[in-house]
Amino acid sequence: MRNLGNLSTERFGCRNARIRRAAGARPFALVIALAALLLSGCGQSPQSLATRYLADLQQFNYPACYATLTGEDRAARTLKQFLVEIPLAPDVDPIWFRAILFSTRYEVGQPQVSGERALVPVKVTMPDLTLWERTIDAKAGPQDSLNTAADKSLETGLYPKLRFEDALVMAKQRHRWRVVADFARRDLIRDGHREAVDLYHSQDYPKAAAAYQALLAQLARQEFSGSRGVEFFLKRELTAIENIQAQAPAARAYLPKLVLSDVAVKMSEARVPAIFGRITNAGDRGVDEVRLTVTYYAGRGAARKALYQESHSVIVTPIEFAGFVRPVLPFVPGETRDFGFELAAPPQIQQQSEPSLTVGSMAFTQSKAPLPTLAIENLAPAPRPSASAKPSPAQSPRPRAAPASH
């Protein structure tokens, strides 16, 4: 989550200096619009408050934004806590917050007033963060700095843009309009989204889609400031998951093209049995997610039966903006990656039965970003084997890399 309370001047000095230079070079449209509203005598209208709130936001005047909230919202959050989830601000880490906010444009529309409540539509234009990050990562060489490349693209304006409808919701309190943040409901949506993303990465796509649909139903009950933007991004991720579901037959047919090699059971550094190996994309499509299945068998021939099964993700590509803290790259054709994971089966199962490793499931890349031209190996973190310990066959039988099931 964002936390702007501990922003370091030294850490952000260069980027903020660039922002200040650019700010001096061109006036803020929102400031001009606010001045016009005040001069025309509009006073404390929902539109003038929305314009002022967004102007303060883009000038990084967070205390002024906080002062416009309802009494309930200010009672629920201190100013420092407010900095973590500012309505209509980019949902990014502090290191990118100001730069992305400065690259964001807001257009205030005509308010819709109903008694003591008002909704002010806002058109938002901002960097398409997930597409931008994947595009930067795909084009960067092994020695390139992702942060430097991203900074340069923001300076030149050469980045993919996103335009969507959002809104500021207001309530009248003591004859003055106040911004409704509704932090309690916002937190429920945030927690539910985190769970939905976990379901996505576990490749339980029906449950993930149902979780997203439940979140959208919650948002539809009553709007709060920024809820339309949240809805836009949830629908975008849901569409990607629905596309993956529709591609399930093609994904199953692709499984044999994900080839396992050098598979062996060894002790991890934590002294726990783990499987290590390599996986190669021998097909012609980019892949975002891969889960391997370990099945333990007992008996032989017709009497052979499965005793236990577990699955592990070995290719995990973020569906959200990761802030350039790690390469966000799909598993591309011709690429080989190392993998390793600790086994979860009960010790008795591991000692007495034979494990078999297969590619259980996968998901094609849904992003429109270009695929990297060069495969980069060893991106997936894996537990490292112990160099000193050599497990006995009884402790860790050598698994078979079985053909992928269809």
Taken in order 199, 202, 207, 210, is the CA torsion positive or negative? positive
Residue 24 shares a structural domain with residue 46: yes
Residue 165 shares a structural domain with residue 188: no
- The count of residues in the chain is 406
Residue 40 shares a structural domain with residue 142: yes
Final residue in a domain of this structure, among 230, 246, 262? 246
Residue for token digits 């959002």? 166
Mean pLDDT, contiguous 10-residue spans, the chain (406 residues): 43 45 47 43 79 97 98 97 95 92 97 96 98 93 82 93 98 96 96 97 96 97 96 98 97 98 92 94 97 91 87 96 91 96 92 90 96 58 42 39 45
Residue 148 shares a structural domain with residue 25: yes
Domain encompassing residue 221: 182-246
Residue 384: predicted pLDDT: 46
Residue 299: predicted pLDDT: 81
Residue 366: predicted pLDDT: 97
Q: Kindly report the CATH number assigned to the domain that includes residue 325.
A: 2.60.40
Within-domain flag for 339:
yes
In what helix (H) or strand (E) does residue 266 lie, and over which residues does it extend?
strand 258-267
Domains contained in the chain, number: 3
The DSSP annotation for 348-396 comes to: HHHHHSEEEEEEEEEEE----SPPPSS-----S--PPBPSS----TTTS
Residue 259 shares a structural domain with residue 237: no
Q: What angle do helix axes 9-25 and 94-102 make, rounded to 10 degrees?
A: 0
Residue 196: predicted pLDDT: 98
Final residue in a domain of this structure, among 246, 261, 291? 246
Residue 399: predicted pLDDT: 53
Residue 39 shares a structural domain with residue 111: yes
Within-domain flag for 189:
yes
Within-domain flag for 352:
yes
Residue 350: predicted pLDDT: 87
- What is the torsion angle, in degrees rounded to the nearest 10, for the CA atoms of residue 87, residue 88, residue 89 and residue 93? 70
Residue 24 shares a structural domain with residue 117: yes
3-class SS letters over 101-148: HHCCEEEECCCEEECCEEEEEEEEEEECHHHHHHHHHHHCCCCCCHHH
Residue 392: predicted pLDDT: 33
Cα–Cα distance, 96 to 136 (Å, whole number): 15
Residue 3: predicted pLDDT: 47
Residue 406: predicted pLDDT: 39
